[in-house]
Structure 1
Amino acid sequence: GLPVTREPFAGIGSRLGIPESEVLERLQRLMSEGVIRRFRARIDQRKVGILANALVAWHVPRDRTKDAGARLARCPGVTHCYERRPVPGRWDYTHYTVHHARSRQDVTAEVKRCAEMSGLYEYTIIFSTEELKRVPAVRVGENGGELQ
């Protein structure tokens, strides 16, 4: 991880005996060569006060599926939005959004606003009860190979 400082790359450079600009140049080169695919921050949500996380499953009428994903993705606060096939008669939800907020009440209010914006009112909110180990998402292709 990076040190939590105003200039983390300067600190890394200092430890390596090189200027910050060289650290940044090396990182850029590794990214352009494909050695580093992504570079991003992971925030400890609980430390910044985000205590409520929820997956919302949306029941979308068949005649609305074409635009539902775009409408849901535009809702403020939606961090992930995707569509899956339903299990007819057992689980008829087709669209899913993920929400994070300081409290369950805040998530619930946000989801209600999203329902109003999208015109979709059949949904269920599933709150997480604990944070498990985060594992990077890996997509598997048809032949079993990993996709990027």
Structure 2
Amino acid sequence: MTMDVTIYHNPDCGTSRNTLALIRHAGIEPKVVEYLKTPPGREELAGMVRGAGLSVREAIREKGTPYAELGLDDPSLSDDQLLTAMLEHPILINRPFVITPLGTRLARPSEAVLDILPADAFKGPFVKEDGEAVLDGEGRRIV
């Protein structure tokens, strides 16, 4: 299937790996951006957050990051200040963000990516790394 898909990926993250596997299970080879090595620019990051329908604060990753040490829990910080912190410390960017012609999602959980991929692209079961079934034998989402 031909579809322009970009994933902002961290190969050390299970959710990110599962999301990438789901995209590939749809027969799509996405553009993979390892955002820790190649972070997005300010406008690109702000656009991803907006496109996903999130606030900047909702797009920040706290666990395993310098979030607390940087004082980012301060509610008086502006979106611009939070974006600056995310750009200076890309580990603060929650992952994985996925962009397709059907929309943008922060794919947490990984099956959130199904909302922006063609439903008819899936031709069989899909099981996450942890054994959780996401798609049944017909390629339909398990709810």
Is the structural similarity TM-score above 0.5? no
TM-score (norm 1): 0.23
Q: Compare CA radii of gyration and give the structure with the larger one.
A: 1
Instruction: Between the two structures, name the one with larger relative contact order (CA 8 Å, sep ≥ 6).
Output: 2
TM-score (norm 2): 0.24
Q: 1 or 2, which has the higher strand percentage? A: 1
